[in-house]
Structures are given as C-alpha cells and as structure tokens.
A = this chain, B = another copy of it.
Amino acid sequence: MEYLVCTGCGKRRDIDVFCARCPACGEPLEVSPPPGGAVRSDAPLLERYAAFLPAGALGLGRSPALTLGEGNTPLLHLERLGEQIGVPRLLVKVEGANPTGSFKDRGSAAGVQRARVLGFSRVGTVSTGNMAASVAAYAARAGMQAVVLVPADIPRAKLAPIVAYSPRLVGVEGDYGTLYGRSLELGARLGIAFINSDDPFRVEGQKTLALELWQQLGGQVPDAVVVPVSSGGHMAALLKGFEELHGLGLTGRVPLLIGVQAAGCAPIVEAYRHGRQAVERWENPATIARAISNPLPPSGNRLLRAHRRGAPLQFITVTDEEILAAYRLLAAEAGVFAQPDAAASLAAVIARQKDGSLEDKTVVAVLTGHGTKDLTPLETAGIELPTCPLDKLAEALAG
C-alpha cells in the first residue's frame, strides 16, 4: 500500500489527499518506499521507473504517462578536466538537457501527472526561474492551467522562458518568503495543486536522477554525488533514491552526497556547521547563483535530520568567484555550458579536492541547469568581438 509519511514526526497520511506538509508538525511529507522491479528502458521516465515510484498514485499503467522526454540525460566522463583538477574520475550529469533546460522537469512530470490523476485542472508553483518554466511546460502538455507566482519586482527579462508556455503569471507584492506556505493554503482552498520544490511527488520525480545514475553506471553507485542545494528538496530526493536502491538490496552502499550552497546564502551549511537542528533564515542573500539562493529552505531541517540519523551527507559553501571559475572551466575546457548555479557543484569538487580526499573517487557533479537559461555572467563581463576585414583574414588567422 502506498502512503505518505512525515519526514519529521513519522505520522502516516492517506496518499490520496493532496498534501505537501504534515498537518501535525509542519515538516515535508514523503512517499512510502517502492516495491522495486524491472526498469523499462525505452519507456518515458515515469513508466521507465514505475517499479521504483508510487505507480498506483501516479496512475502508471492505466494510461500513458505525462512526458516531454525528460530524463535520460548525459553522464559524461570529463577526463581532461578531471586530470586538471586532480579528480580523474570526474563525471558530470547534464541535467540542462531536460526539456525546459533544468533538472526540475523530472519532478514536474511526476507532480503534474499526480495532479492530473487526482482530477485537478490547475497546477501551481512558487518560483522565479527553472521550476516556473518547468511546471508551466508540463501543465501545457497536460492541457491544464499553470499558476505561477513570482515576486512583483522580478526583472522582466527573467520571465521570457516562463511566459513562453502561457501560464497564468502573477507578480506578488509583499513578503515573497512567506509565499511557499501561503501557496499551499491557497491551493488547498481553491483547488490548485501547488507543486513546489519539495512536494512529495516532485521528490519522487527528482529521485529518478539517483536511479538513472545507478543504471548508467551499470548497476553501481558513484563514491560521491555533488549537488547544489536550494530548498533541499532535490538533495532529499537523491538521498531517498539511493537509500531505496540500497534498501532493495540493489546497491552495496549509499554514496556520499555533498550539498553545495553559495557562501552568500548558505542557511543549511550554517546550521550543519553549528550542529543546529533547524535552519535559520539567511538575511540578505547575495550571490550570482540565484537559483540556489533560498533564505529559508523548506527541506533544510529534513536534511539536517537525515544527517543526524547517519545518512552520508556533507554540506559545503563555495564563493561566487569559485562558482564563476568553475562555470568558465566547464564550458571552455569541456564544452559543457551550465547555469552558474549548476557550476557550483564543480566548484565544490575543486574546493573539496584541495585536501586530496576525492582524487581516487568516482565523483558525479550534478549540473542542474543549462547555461542558456541565465546568461548574466557573460553579459555582465561584456562581450568583445575582434574584427577583421575579409581580405586580411588569412593573416589574422595565421597567428
């Protein structure tokens, strides 16, 4: 039987009541462990991993699952770059290859599919970037309306990749930080399925990244997986996926998960370093990695609890300079153009390698989004174009 269970107090809840957080303690709910079974390699993501997902609640097998072709993203071994930074077995998981250019598509596929099965005609999300575009795209694919709540003062330029899918977009005036909780209340009242960053079904979709790594590595898991952390939902999903594989006896261990935050907004790292049980709101976030700049991560306490119970989690920060250096290295040395936020994972590998602890390890850096989704660093740096008359080109190129 599938059910929801609170990651905080452990209380069980009926899976057929749409709900993201425990009414008793307020912590995120998650879905019960799956039965396991065969992977259907050629099927769309949700059907491929149906045996590892809440297949009943997602209506898998009853009608074709929602898909835009998410998942199955490249896992590249960056030999040269790895040698250069002292981690020869450096792999990157290129999540920017997903349909809307970010890892969010795995979770949106599951979340919107779930909302459709429950009969919702509207889905919603609170996001200023990747998740907004992703939910809007999957809603369009499903023939549902997407409600996207953004801060009223968001730069208009950031809206184009969201607006493309014609969602109902609302700029909310007021404290954006309280909107996560408020959206869940409003959704319950108005019949809008809000699929935020750590929604239980989004987490199910996001955990397919762990399953895919296991498959792509021929039934093995890497030594370490490095992932940028914002709300904490993605990292919690990876941990859930790896722990379930281990629980099913399919892997010998759970890999070390290293969560990365920007030094300019690192509430989880801060709580982790001080041994606190709860994250505290980060005042005045300031980082170029906007997609991971979440001052009060809704799944922060959940990750701290997982760490306390012995899950192999570590958390570190990287500076904007380190992020930008990794961002440039990835594109110029390996041909992989990732969002600055995504490059934070490579920056963390480089930072961690300084003590030599990763050099003999198989390390996967998760690149959460495609570089084209945020060109700010390149545009800010300014783009120079050396010019040359056509008849002088031979001389210019000979040099």
Interface residues in chain A, defined as those with a beta carbon under 8 Å from any beta carbon in chain B: 67-69, 72-76, 80, 94, 97-101, 133, 136-143, 147, 149-150, 152, 154, 156-157, 159-161, 163-166, 169-175, 178-179, 182, 186, 189-190, 192, 328, 331-337, 370-373, 375, 378-379, 383, 385-391, 393-394, 396-398
Contacts and interface: CB of A to CB of B under 8 A. Distances in A.
A359 B133 CA distance: 32
Given A170-B388, A173-B389, A383 B192 contact: no
Instruction: Pick the 6 closest A-B CB pairs, nearest first.
Output: A69-B74, A174-B390, A141-B335, A140-B335, A166-B332, A171-B387
A259 B174 CA distance: 51
Nearest to A80: B143
A397 B190 contact: yes
Contacts of A179: 390
B160 A383 contact: yes
B337 A100 contact: yes
A349 B167 CA distance: 25
A137 B337 contact: yes
Contacts of A156: 383, 385
A383 B163 contact: yes
Contacts of A75: 69
Given A163-B378, A163-B383, A171-B386, 9 more contacts: A68-B94, A141-B334, A143-B333, A172-B387, A173-B387, A174-B390, A182-B390, A186-B393, A186-B397
Nearest to A112: B335
Contacts of A172: 387-390, 393
Given A163-B378, A335-B139, A336-B99, A396 B69 contact: no
Given A164-B337, A334-B141, A385 B190 contact: no
B335 A138 contact: yes
16 contacts: A68-B335, A69-B74, A69-B94, A80-B143, A133-B337, A140-B333, A140-B334, A141-B336, A142-B335, A154-B385, A163-B383, A166-B332, A170-B387, A174-B389, A189-B394, A190-B394
A147 B388 CA distance: 13
